[in-house]
Structure 1
């Protein structure tokens, strides 16, 4: 999967489509500060060819080279809309941790805004848009968040082999949580079952807008983050594992909601290109 970043001012007309998760906001709206972060020259001069990218299978490399050569066509909505062809170029390596969306965005936009700042501004944009959304829209956003991070474990097994539940544990509460888990273990409960019980009882589930904002603010910094991410993995038979994230290094991966907010905040169009 690749992501295309482009300056929205280069597209003829205004791309007015409603986000599936976050209300669309006009990039020309006067209440949004004009921030130009895209520098095509810097991206082109620093980009490597797909031959230089490590870790790709031959078939993947050929597909990416084909995309690079032919480009990706974007057509303005409407029968007589103009079209633009974007080239998919490799902008450099990023770590495969939860900050990869924001690190890649920083490189693509080629400006002095670091990944943590991009994450903060993405969360801020989300909360502002959520506050101005209609009740119906807020319910839709909540449903999307629950589907991703607090799924109904009674269903979905025809699609997923493993489903995950995300919980947020305050760093300052970790000692108390460990003590409560140890008490259950001493009573004869298995360690993972005890951990599941305590975390589900005392931690914050990621199941609505405010909890999503807390979750997406987590960059994996033991010193700066307020919360640690706890991940419960389930199969159809029951609990599979508990990732307690002891070191506090797990970061929240940028999801579709974050991509929409990032695009809105910096007046960019971000396209996700899937290739098989």
Structure 2
């Protein structure tokens, strides 16, 4: 097949090996957080690097597109009656009214952009992403989490066995990481196979599987989740798509603009890093086979057991118009405002 292309064999995310920095001075202490939770102001700012004079406009739910009347009714209820949040370890509780925080770009960075806006952070979405990955590696390498369980979960999500699972999925994706510095050599090897009659997709599948990194464990997940689709990313995301019949296609990400979509692992690490609970709010439509009283779901993501909840919760909105979209991955910010004037007994939901 001609001379072999040369590929570097880097396997570690060395940038994350440095010791964890001390918490930024803007983080409040647990005692200060307790005092903050007792405050009765109607606008609760995040205690972590708040945006100061920068105003984030809340959007009433009537102005959010794509909502059915069933969904809109439920969301208006949490805006008017609020939700009751109880601190997980302390005898403290607050009512929050929930409002849409505006659209964010569907560029693969939406989890981190929505979180940055919902928490009113000075940090950029990229900084939020990288802090999340660093938190993951700290917990993963210290075995705060069960490495085998995490590895199995990552492999199932990003490196599935494409010979199984077809009772649930129509298309399965396999994620690989190609070093940007290797792309020219990869292209040359693919072209060699094309020249001897191999289809472009089959050639790309063969070369990429041989020379790229599968996202199949904690360390490769950290590499993957660090990618924001920018020119400065070290790796490009390659996606192999399969149906039950075999290879469907290869997304070679020629321009290197694909970003790693946030997943449940990332949300849990966000919760740990920012010392708060994160609730993903799903609003389901009439085709989701739920009755009107159960069309809104609050899916909790809590910090690891070693992390104390020091700050108010964060809420992220995930639209869902049916069962299949319940696993969608576009997040939008929800702005939560403390509402001490609302009685806890009449809150729309108790979290």
Which ranges in structure 1 are unaligned for 5 or more consecutive residues?
1-30
Whole-angstrom distance in 2 between the partners of 1:233 and 1:73: 43
What is the aligned counterpart of 1:243 among 251, 256, 263?
251
Q: Structure 2 length normalisation: TM-score?
A: 0.63
2:218 is aligned to: 209
What is the aligned counterpart of 1:270 among 278, 282, 286?
278
CA contact (8 A) 2:49 2:122 kept: no
2:263 is aligned to: 255
Whole-angstrom distance in 2 between the partners of 1:45 and 1:99: 19
The structure carrying a bigger helix percent of its residues is 1
Q: Could you say if the C-alpha distance between residues 152 and 122 of structure 1 is closer, same or farther in structure 2, counting changes exceeding 3 Å? A: same
1:11 is aligned to: none
User: Partner of 2:192: helix, strand, or coil?
Assistant: helix
CA offsets, 1:90-118, max 9 Å, x none? 11221011111111111111121111111
- Deviation for aligned residue 1:84: 4.7
1:194 aligns with 2:203: yes
Which structure has the bigger radius of gyration? 2
CA contact (8 A) 1:233 1:239 kept: yes
What is the aligned counterpart of 2:166 among 147, 157, 163?
157
CA contact (8 A) 2:50 2:122 kept: no
What is the aligned counterpart of 1:89 among 76, 99, 124?
99
What is the aligned counterpart of 2:72 among 17, 42, 61?
61
User: Partner of 1:95: helix, strand, or coil?
Assistant: coil
2:326 is aligned to: none
CA offsets, 1:212-251, max 9 Å, x none? 00000101002x1000000111111111111111111110
Whole-angstrom distance in 1 between the partners of 2:193 and 2:173: 23
User: Partner of 1:128: helix, strand, or coil?
Assistant: helix
1:126 is aligned to: 136
What is the aligned counterpart of 2:122 among 93, 106, 112?
112
- Deviation for aligned residue 1:174: 0.5
1:179 is aligned to: 188
Provide the aligned length of Structure 1 versus Structure 2: 243
Q: Structure 1 length normalisation: TM-score?
A: 0.79
